[in-house]
Structure 1
Amino acid sequence: MALGRKTGGREKGTPNHSTAEIRSLATVHAAEAIERLADLMRNAENETTRLAAIRELLDRGYGRPALHADIKSHVDTPPRDYREMTDEELEAIIYEARAEREHERANASGKAWRSDH
């Protein structure tokens, strides 16, 4: 990017011709594909195949179900007030946070993280 502006590629709002072409070709076969899924749902000998066809039909007709995570945590002790911590405890927290951030950056850039940082 130059001066905070996008300098290459398509302009915003310009359709991707390859994607549009593939979508157009797929649309031609959509009705036949749905008919085949319905046939598999009703007549497949394998229960796994029938269930997969049912899932595909429902996903296309109603959308995929939302994913929900029920996360529960049990903490034996409440978090301590930072004003009650020693300088050494606070420095350890800062050091650990910096190491985690460095690790995340290294993973994001594809580099191996070294523990000697």
Structure 2
Amino acid sequence: MPYFVLGCRALVVLISLSGKMRSRDSYRDFESATRRLAPFLPASVLAPLVVLAETATVVLLVVPMTSVAGLASAFLIFTAFTVGLVMALGCEPSIDINALRYAISRSDMRFVRQWRIGTGALHAAQ
């Protein structure tokens, strides 16, 4: 079971890495996308650094003693990707507080209903 958990931790980053390294064309496509997402940085340097960071992250996530460092590395990679997308799209991050409150209240009510149904089934089984 521990190996399954370790593998699942690295799966998302491994899929991302394999998509970039599947063939020369897919790596060129990744480098081109990197150039468009971060035009102020040299893609010929940034693309290999991303591949190296993702490879290191997979290794860190799979080794049990370094899994916390791997999670931190994955967090940094995904944060950098998100920032790059926001900058490329020219979006200003904004939050509609009322929509957020509504979504939270709806999800809370679903959780309460599911919990009640679950506990009701539990009491009926006893």
TM-score using structure 2 length: 0.26
TM-score using structure 1 length: 0.28
Which protein has the bigger helix share? 2
Larger radius of gyration: 1
